Chains A and B, each alone.
Chain A
Amino acid sequence: MELDPLILARIQFAFTISFHIIFPAFTIGLSAWIATLLGMSLWTGNVRYKDLAQFWTKIFAVSFAMGVVSGIVLTYQFGTNWSEFSLAVGNVIGPLIGFEVLTAFFLEASFLGIMLFGRDRVSPAMHFTAAVLVAVGTAISAFWILSANSWMQFPAGHEVRDGIAYPVDWWQVIFSPTFGWRMVHMLTAAYITTGFVVLAVGARFWLKGKHLPEAETMMKMALGILVVLTPVQAVIGDFHGLNTLEHQPAKIAAMEAHWDGTHPAALVLFAIPDVVAEVNRFEIAIPKLGSLILTHDLNGTFPGLKQFAPEDRPPVLPVFISFRVMVGIGLLMILLSGLGAFAWWRGKLFRPNLLMQVFANTWPLGFIAVLAGWITTEIGRQPWVATGLMRTEDALSPVGAATVLTSLILFVLVYAVIFVSGGYYINRLLEKGPVRHVPKEPLRPTRPMAAAQDSGRIALSAGE
């Protein structure tokens, strides 16, 4: 069988970026959560917030390390596997990545050291500031990388000469038409993802009867933010969808498995799209609801797949399915947050009931939704790597299939080891739970680090 370097390089990119996105999706929210806890600790003087911040900082450290190392891979993969892409669009999106490094990566990486190890070396206010700067850094990083991605989705502010894009208006490049909603949608998704992890961990502790005050604080803080953000995310998603319809109608047609654009669209709940016959098999659909959602008019119409040449259509099935997975999870999240908030309001949240058991298992929801969303938008961009400008098949490096295959296998093996170990250790940290703060004895005041460590050990042994 002849190996196709294009397919292999695409699998490799999809694999490495899917692995990577899990960690930013978590650490963007987690750093904000830790900064909030440290802020509450400063403000109220309540040690519980400080204990919780310490506990989540350990988990943050492990997750962030995995995010950093899997991210470096991507910077270099543009060149190793997609050198034609790097050459064609480097003038335009290269500087955006450059600004990401200068404004975000250094900020995160430098203040991470103080956040993780500086507790006893800087004042509480400085420690809090470091956590805020890390959280801000992760958000700035999201800003630039989403700006670059949005430009690829719908390029603007450039001109093309001899197949190479040149910048004309930087403002339009950075704030390209699809950027705003994508940015808001992704940041909100990251905060929701972390919210459900915190909620689930709190519920687990509570069900085991361990760390009860901490568990209640975690669940209340998580539910408080989730009950606001999950419905807001649905509204943001709707605007993002309308924006996509305006700029990438072929993607919307694939997301909805909508073939015939001359009639109002049904909302297809389930179907197996048949790309040869250009129809849906086994379709379950609600008439006209698709048009209502996308045009806000029961009789509105929007382009169907048949209006695009077959070579300009994205693959329908994965886009259609992954979009449904994302939306389905989103609706489930709204329901769960609402039920939790209602129970809290009625004073019935902390009961060993089914809802508590469900909450204890909600931690993967955000991750799956984020991955499904990115699969939707990235496969939905195909066959283009930069819409209208360069097709994915033209972006490949002059590297042999065997080389790409070997590197793909190595990435899969290494990431499997890292992922399994990282998951195992994070789980172990979670099992251990937060350590109660023990007032420090000034044992050896000349060596504050050693004293801190001793009290940490006492606390650890007391907790076990």
Chain B
Amino acid sequence: MAELDLPLIWAGIIGVAVILYVILDGFDLGCGILFPLTREEHERDQMMNSVAPFWDGNETWLVLGGGGLWVAFPAAYSIIMPALYVPVLVMLLALIFRGVAFEFRWVAKPNHQLWDLAFWLGSTVAAFAQGLILGGLLHGIAMEQGRFSGGTFDWLSPFAIMCGFGVVAGYALLGATWLHMRVAGDLERRANEWAKPLLLALLGFILVVSIWTPLHVERIAALWFSWPNLLYLSPVPVLTLVLAALVWKGLDDKAAATPFLGSVGIFVLAFAGLAISNFPYLVPPSLTVWDAAAAPESQMFLLVGVLILLPVVLGYTVFVYYTFRGRIRPGEGYH
């Protein structure tokens, strides 16, 4: 049997789980972030209803990402989690509030104002904390002899805070374009208006990260700005701009799905860019996927499970999305 590069395969699987999480929970967190932009209760109902059947499944990808990291790379998991203790904790607490808000808000009606607030704040803070986690990882984590050796607030930097705002803007864009595709009535038009400034904010954020990382990390500069890499990697920024133009045009044309799909594409490219910059490091700047790998027998055991079960999971995820297809009209819902 040919030797499989299990750590590499697992890095790919976790990468897929993370990007699926970012896209799927991204649009439903985005709907939460946009919540205060309308004061109409029936529009808030529409926003929540458009994601209510999906959010739980979407969030499960976060568990697969975190759980997968532990299974496949316990050495990285046991360094990253203590290092990012505070933003991870904040994210979890925020997700608790917004998760229960989905149910509590309906049961509490007509006294649901506090759960509106919980849904908005929970979604926004969770997105912001995920940005902090991203920033903290890109910034690098101090380690000695395979253990986290830094302080509680090592992750805190202007760069991480900017990443926080960037992720909030990006999720809000996914949310706005999702609503543009999935709701009818006045809200559809307003989602269209929200999307353009958010697109510009996301592009600005991607630009800053693209400048900041090579400036601060020589390895990344050498990777992107050397010949012929420059040529091979040029599709990433070029395609991002093409997709941004498509999203913009789709919004102008009131095309239903193009803005959302284009935004998803931008997220995928941004993720690919980050992955290219940091590969093969799991914990920049010192721990690679091979250093952190679990025992091959452990990685192999779950890999078999993933190969059999992940297609099934994707299959019924598609079934659920298909079941709840179509636009949500004002006053329409599942409750």
Instruction: Write the residues of chain A forming the contact surface with B, with a CB cutoff of 8 angstroms.
Output: 58, 61-62, 65-66, 68-70, 72-73, 75-76, 78-80, 83-84, 86-87, 90-92, 94-95, 97-103, 105-114, 116-118, 121-122, 166-167, 170, 397-400, 402-403, 407, 410-411, 414, 418, 421-422, 425, 428-429, 447, 449-450, 453
Out of A66, A70, A83, A422, name the residue touching B78 (CB < 8 Å). Answer: A83
B168 proximal to A (CB < 8 A): no
Once the chains bind, are B66 and A167 in contact (CB under 8 Å)?
no
CA distance A102 to B68 in the complex (A): 10
Expressed in whole angstroms, the minimum distance between the Cβ of A384 and any Cβ of chain B is 19
In this complex, which of B89, B316, B329 has the most chain A Cβ atoms within 10 angstroms of its Cβ?
A: B89
Taking a contact as CB atoms closer than 8 A, the residue among B53, B103, B302 that contacts A114 in the complex is B53
* Residue B12 interfacial (CB < 8 Å): no
Q: How far is the CB of B68 from chain A (nearest CB, A)?
A: 6
Q: How far is the CA of A100 from the CA of B313 in the complex (A)?
A: 13
**When the two chains form their complex, are residues A114 and B320 in contact, meaning their CB atoms are under 8 A apart?**
yes
Of the residues A65, A400, A450, contact of B332 by C-beta under 8 Å: A450
Residue of B nearest to A170 (CB): B301
Size category of the B interface is 35 or more
Q: Nearest B residue to A403 by beta-carbon distance?
A: B152
Q: How would residues 38 to 58 of chain B score, 1 for a CB under 8 Å from any chain A CB and 0 otherwise? A: 000000000000001110110
B119 to chain A, nearest CB (A): 12
Q: Which residues of B contact A61 (CB under 8 A)?
A: 103
User: In angstroms, how far is the closest chain A Cβ from the Cβ of B158?
Assistant: 22
Given the interface pairs A75-B67, A79-B82, A87-B74, the reply to whether A102 lies near B305 with Cβ below 8 Å is yes
**When the two chains form the complex, which single residue of B60, B67, B332 contacts A453, counting CB atoms closer than 8 Å?**
B332
B111 smallest CB distance to A (angstroms): 11
Segment of B94-102, B185-193, B279-287 in the binding face: B94-102
| A399 partner residues in chain B, CB cutoff 8 A | 82, 85, 152
Stretch at the interface among B207-215, B267-275, B291-299: B291-299
Please name the 7 residue pairs, one residue from A and one from B, whose CB atoms are nearest each other, closest first. A79-B81, A90-B74, A113-B53, A117-B334, A83-B78, A94-B71, A109-B56
Inter-subunit contact A94/B294 (CB<8 Å): yes
The answer to whether residues A117 and B85 also contact, given A65-B99, A83-B78 and a CB cut-off of 8 A, is no
**One of A98, A100, A107, A429 near B107 (C-beta < 8 A):** A429
Given the contacts A90-B71, A114-B323, A414-B97, A102 and B64 also touching, CB distance less than 8 Å: yes
Is B239 positioned at the interface, with any CB of A under 8 Å from its CB?
Answer: no
The answer for the CA separation of A449 and B333 in the assembled complex, in Å, is 7
B60 and A403 contacting across the interface, CB-CB below 8 Å: no
Question: Do B332 and A414 have beta carbons less than 8 Å apart?
Answer: no
Q: Point out the residue from B57, B63, B108, B301 that lies within 8 Å of A425, measured CB to CB.
A: B108
Known contacts A76-B88, A102-B310, then 18 further A-B pairs from the complex at CB < 8 Å, ordered by chain A residue: A70-B96, A76-B66, A83-B147, A83-B148, A90-B78, A91-B74, A95-B71, A97-B70, A102-B306, A102-B309, A105-B63, A106-B60, A107-B316, A113-B57, A398-B82, A414-B96, A414-B97, A425-B103
- A91–B294 contact, CB under 8 A? yes
B80 contacts partner chain A, Cβ-Cβ < 8 Å: yes
Tell which of B72, B100, B146 has the most Cβ of chain A within 10 Å. B100
User: How long is the Cα–Cα vector from A121 to B320 in the complex, in angstroms?
Assistant: 11
For B96, give its contact among A116, A398, A418 (CB under 8 Å). Answer: A418
Q: Is B75 an interface residue (CB 8 A)?
A: yes
Beta-carbon contact of A79 and B80 below 8 Å:
yes
Find residues 121-159 in chain B having any chain A CB closer than 8 Å to their own CB: 146-149, 152
Most chain B CB inside 10 Å of its own CB: which residue of A58, A109, A121: A109
Q: List 10 A-B contacts (CB under 8 A).
A: A62-B107, A76-B92, A86-B81, A94-B72, A106-B316, A113-B52, A116-B334, A117-B324, A166-B298, A399-B85
Q: Digit string of B254-277 for contact with A (CB within 8 Å is 1, else 0)?
A: 000000000000000000000000
A90 to B95, CA, bound (A): 25
> Which residue on B lies nearest to A418, using beta carbons?
B100
* Chain A residue contacts of B88, Cβ below 8 A: 76, 79-80
Q: Which of A90, A414, A453 contacts B93 (CB 8 A)?
A: A414
The CA of A108 and the CA of B63, in the complex, are separated in Å by 13
Q: What's the least CB distance linking A334 to chain B, in Å? A: 35
Q: Which residue of B lies closest to A73 (CB)?
A: B92
Residues from chain B with Cβ under 8 Å of A97 in the complex: 67, 70-71
